[in-house]
Structure 1
């Protein structure tokens, strides 16, 4: 199965960035989110359509060392590489794309243009980082981009069509589906009814027999309506599927990740799953689990729990586990795709409460070599601390420590699912 580069990019465009962009551009968060949802598939599709373009490949190859991912809001709008890249992809259709997205999202053309640069920077930067991490040469990058032609086909949000984006003839190769909420019927020809008129020998029409029930349509129309109703019911039954999310442990040294399982409604009831909700941060909405890390930390800060804590000893036993921050198996410095969204949420919380201080902790289960476990847990904690520092909140991160399996509670011989509770990254308040 081909890699979906959208998964690499989503972590860069999380709720925290949306909130910051809305504040910087003077737009609503819903408008910013709506614009990004339309721009992202357009940019990915444009790159895929230019997968053999030397300029595109050069831009992606050099993106890893440009530092663009660390300063999307500040460094994308005036980046000459991005401007050149957009001109190469969209040509004279660039202004049409900006205008269409502005109209669709209800934002200004200036904001739409800035967001296009931002989304392009996040896309090129994420793909460039992935290529560097996985030693992809330009040929590998080209193949990765080309693969997206079969993946981006369902990304455009409802209400936005390719025709309305004015992005050129290349878009005809992408069959976006914007009608997921409508019943789709297969085109078919209605039966052709041939009516033959006969005449008498004198050329006049014979008198109609009133007892025959009249026109053929009196019985044909009800029959057609019955067929249509049956087809509608059949399509409805076909669509009765449900998707549930379960948590599956994947990292023997650190974290767990989510996987999607599709089951038919006729089977047993699906397990209860966590669902992302809007977590209120002083009027700003963060995406997170109810009762998850963001929700718990904000509730604690609002209750003056931090302010009233006498010293660090009063805080050291209350840790908050990350829900979405995962590292690649065996790695101490490579996050799984999508992990930066919750880290951005943490940045937003720290900026909202600048007096708050935190400490990062890394933990593993009891399996494997303890020296290796300790080393990896320390590397991961240090990585998160450094990452937060690059977002401007480093002064609020007092320490980062890895504990290996020191605090693991589940026996090494237990099942992997049971041991998953010991593998985590956590954060606590400190003084």
Structure 2
């Protein structure tokens, strides 16, 4: 069974009923919130393990926290004890603060809004769900004797399930809040940890036995070797010149060098920590610079030098540019407008663009380069799925084909979100009103 199947077994109706009683929320809302949190935590951990330090930290938390699946054996009984339940919640919230730093409040708000529960209930559920998810992961580590790399690979094996199972209404919030653009698009992969031995040879730790992976600063070994070499050289110089004065100055230089090494080591650690934090930060919309008002010259300065006609001639057909350029060049018009990408189409049932589609993709890339503040959301619909594809997965993969081409052309992936909505007809639609299925790509302007 895969991880999501195991989690479905853990959060069975009886367990959800006990959790709902504890947080004093309706069972339907509690179930919806837990589902959202499972996707959020699993997606967040996938993103966390795209860095080597993240792989180590997740594995350490599971090992040191003794997440071995113990409470799962009789979870309903465990949840009858309010004191122990509160312990599980506290434990989970502490772990989430380390693994997904500065995201606890934003996740709580997202789940509160999504499931219609109190924010305090969402935070409690976040802690409890995190603990139980880690126990499921820890049990798999124990049963399959996984090392840190094996755990990261097991997580990423669930990416396709995550993409296909996340409810359509929840996917945009999840991607935005947790920053899963690369994970969802299939561009992210689990990091492979490496260790530099004293000889300088780089060895993959994937072949080593599972141990406790405490974070270490490999620069200490290199600095130690350099320090020994430096001391030997300094002593040789001191003996060559044979003077006490020179020897004392040489020792002073050595001490100064050691201080510099210590400072450099601290700086390196700080930079590494900052990099990890930035990689988990929720993407923010760029803040537009305040422009002078009430003057035609000021308004004109907001528009790029390239006109709609000029851009059209540079990109071929120009239809998309002619539609979007007047809108993007006018700062008074609000963001959020939707444009149909009528020039982009796919071969039936496939991920292959039709021959005439490339011109529009290139045109869109030029627009994104011309307007560096522009952020867009690509929304795909499909009704021609074949074989193993569902319409939802086909629509999702198609918009990510476009996104990948834009990223390859030099556009930052954070400026392009992509979601697939299948046929556009909700499965739970009970209105009885016939609705046509769709096959198209839409572009929404998120920021300009």
Tell me the TM-score range normalised by the shorter chain: 0.3 to 0.5
Whichever of the two has the greater Rg, that structure is 1
Of Structure 1 and Structure 2, which has the larger fraction of its residues in helix?
Answer: 2
TM-score with structure 1 setting the length: 0.39
Of Structure 1 and Structure 2, which has the larger fraction of its residues in strand?
Answer: 1
TM-score with structure 2 setting the length: 0.37
